């Protein structure tokens, strides 16, 4: 498996794959913001909280079969967070999801993070949660915000030390939910406007 950085050459493929894996959560705006966060916010007028985000397409035998991401918050530079980790439906139950998760863990380690964390819907993602727990993630309920789903934070240590739990510190997940639940036509309009600016600045 290869991890291919999402950039100007493949971001449309990344959007397509993310939308296929998460049909009820549109990550288009997240992926667009990862290309140039400051320009994204300036162009769209939207605030994008998750700084330092990089997404990667998972490639097997020349085919893109999944996506993952790594980001961190300025208030906790020791912890990397996983974003939009998932495998296309046709490639599940073949051990590829486990391989992608381990590749994501290795990516976090190579960037010298001490801990790796993620948040997920406890009721909707039981299979993924079983995988997280099998490699050492520890779960805890997140109630710092009123969300429409049963949110759990999962954390693991990347060093020879126990991972400190998140202990319900505020993450701004309600803002993220507004982005991935935005009207499809509005997202389409933002995409067109942002792509125009990316061309203007020589990024595309």
pLDDT, tens only, 10-36? 999 999 999 999 998 999 999 999 998
Residues of the chain with pLDDT under 70: 50-51
pLDDT of residue 197: 87
**Cβ(98)–Cβ(53) below 8 Å:** no
pLDDT of residue 48: 81
pLDDT of residue 201: 81
In a domain, 51, yes or no: yes
In a domain, 145, yes or no: no
pLDDT of residue 50: 64
In a domain, 164, yes or no: no
In a domain, 123, yes or no: no
In a domain, 100, yes or no: yes
Contacts of 121 (CB under 8 A, 6+ apart): 149, 150, 151, 152
In a domain, 60, yes or no: yes
In a domain, 11, yes or no: yes
Report long-range pairs for 157-161 (Cβ below 8 Å, ≥24 apart). Answer: 157/114, 157/115, 158/105, 158/108, 158/109, 158/113, 158/114, 158/115, 158/116, 159/114, 159/115, 161/114
Question: CA 124, CA 122: separation in Å to the nearest integer?
Answer: 6
Could you identify the residue written with the tokens 């010298």?
112
Q: Tens digits of per-residue pLDDT, 104-136? A: 999 999 999 999 999 999 998 888 999 999 999
Q: How many domains does the chain have?
A: 1
Both tokens of residue 132? Answer: 């997280």
Please give the model's pTM, rounded to 2 decimal places.
Answer: 0.92
In a domain, 136, yes or no: no
**Cβ(70)–Cβ(81) below 8 Å:** yes
pLDDT of residue 176: 84
The CATH number given to whatever domain includes residue 76 is 3.40.630.30
Range of the domain at 21: 2-115+177-200
């Amino acid at each position: 498996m290869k991890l291919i950085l999402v950039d100007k050459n493949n971001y449309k493929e990344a959007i397509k794959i993310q939308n296929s894996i998460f049909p009820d959560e549109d990550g288009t705006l997240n992926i667009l913001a990862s290309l140039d966060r400051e320009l994204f916010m300036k162009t769209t007028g939207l605030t994008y909280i998750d700084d330092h985000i990089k997404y990667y397409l998972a490639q097997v035998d020349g085919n893109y079969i999944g996506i993952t991401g790594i980001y961190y918050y300025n208030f906790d530079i020791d912890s990397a967070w996983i974003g939009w980790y998932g495998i296309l439906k046709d490639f599940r139950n073949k051990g590829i999801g486990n391989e992608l998760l381990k590749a994501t863990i290795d990516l976090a380690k190579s960037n010298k993070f001490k801990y790796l964390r993620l948040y997920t819907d406890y009721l909707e993602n039981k299979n993924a949660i079983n995988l997280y727990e099998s490699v050492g993630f520890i779960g805890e309920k997140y109630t710092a915000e009123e969300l429409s789903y049963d949110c759990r934070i999962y954390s693991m240590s990347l060093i020879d030390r126990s991972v400190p739990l998140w202990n319900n510190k505020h993450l701004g997940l309600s803002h993220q939910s507004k982005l991935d639940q935005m009207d499809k036509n509005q997202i389409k309009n933002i995409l067109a406007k942002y792509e125009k600016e990316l061309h203007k600045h020589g990024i595309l």
